[in-house]
Amino acid sequence: MKLKVLCILVAVTLALGCIQQPSEHVPKAVKYAKNFDIEDHGSYKVLRVKHDDKWYTYVLYRDKKPDVEGVPIKIPVKRLVIMSSTHLAQLKAINATDCVVGFMWGGRYKIYFEDIAEKLENGEIVDVGSPNAPDYERILALNPDLVVIYVEEYNEHVRRKLEELKIPYIVDSEWKENDPLGRAEWVKFFAALTDKEEEAEKYFSEVERNVLEVRKIVEGSEKPKLVWFSIWKGVVYVPRGDSYVAKMAEYANADYIFSDLNGTGSAKVTLEDLLLRGSDADIAVYSFYGVKNVSDLLEIDSRLSEIKAVKTGRIYRISEDYWQLGLLYTDVVVKDLAAICHPDKFKDYKPRFFVKLEE
């Protein structure tokens, strides 16, 4: 009897709303990326970004800043200074490059976005110097709403200087993602800042659909062995096992030979280790476009001829525009890799971002 009365009391109390119910769940907008997330609360958004193994919270608002903990950013951001060409790619994907007023470029490389190159030429977008040593006076003169940076050991001083000068900034950790779809999904980060969510959703949904379709085409096929590397000043660099390259190999149904190296980004290995583990690689990708043919590759070290893929002519380099347009067309890059690993599945298909090295 007592139990029955207690149950009735609890039911009545719930009905009267005296017991606080769990707050409504906010749907997670991010599916693949691990270094940022977004919550849309209607009148404002909460953007969380991870770098240095810490999470940083930003509150994006349109009119009145809500009483919510986090760094306030008024949106849409209309004056943006960016540090990387990958930032250009993702703004390009959602037609939001018009907000870019400054670019940490320093004229160090060719810009493959024609409209951006033209704006840099005529001064509509100001070159504020390299990411290592930007011109802070120029940045201040631009009066940006926000500066988007990436942080590595060699440019940590840039973040500190922006803080010292009280220039608002936010860190983009896209390059640390371990999934090509995770990298591509950072388009939602820029969409949140520029109020371009609809464009971002349309763009990303298509990229995701195309990547998963490629995976379906090659699944169940025999996995070829893949080695992906570059050599700079005698040091061999290979993507780690938790890098986006390793995941891309998985989507392409390839056996990446350095998948056991933990971590994201690249690792240094000896040439001897590369040759030992890569000697029977069916496909090789040299991740630098400066090598034009096999002779160029062997000039770096003649022992690279011991790799099976070099012997059989299945050695490729990345295209000159890979680091810029490649992020814009993630689905094409994945299809390219699948096609060079499984040419029988993609007959008459010509890869866009991988170039076969000729003799």
Q: How much is the pLDDT for 359?
A: 83
- Max intra-chain CA distance, the chain: 91
Token pair listed for 281: 């690689």
pTM score over 0.85: yes
For residue 240, CA distances in Å to 108, 111, 243, 259, 315 come to 27, 28, 5, 6, 20
For residue 4, CA distances in Å to 9, 11, 14, 19, 302 come to 9, 11, 16, 19, 85
- Asked if residues 70 and 90 have their Cβ atoms less than 8 Å apart, the reply is no
CA nearest to 96, candidates 82, 107, 112? 82
CA nearest to 227, candidates 295, 279, 292? 279
pLDDT of the chain along its 359 residues, tens only? 444 444 443 343 333 333 333 334 445 689 999 999 999 999 999 999 999 899 999 999 999 999 999 999 999 999 999 999 999 999 999 999 999 999 999 999 999 999 999 999 999 999 999 999 999 999 999 999 999 999 887 788 999 999 999 999 999 999 999 999 999 999 999 999 999 999 999 999 999 999 999 999 999 999 999 999 999 999 999 999 999 999 999 999 999 999 999 998 899 999 999 999 999 999 999 999 999 999 999 999 999 999 999 999 999 999 999 999 999 999 999 999 999 999 999 999 999 999 999 98
CA nearest to 178, candidates 237, 266, 247, 261? 247
Domains and CATH numbers, the chain: 36-204 (3.40.50.1980), 220-356 (3.40.50.1980)
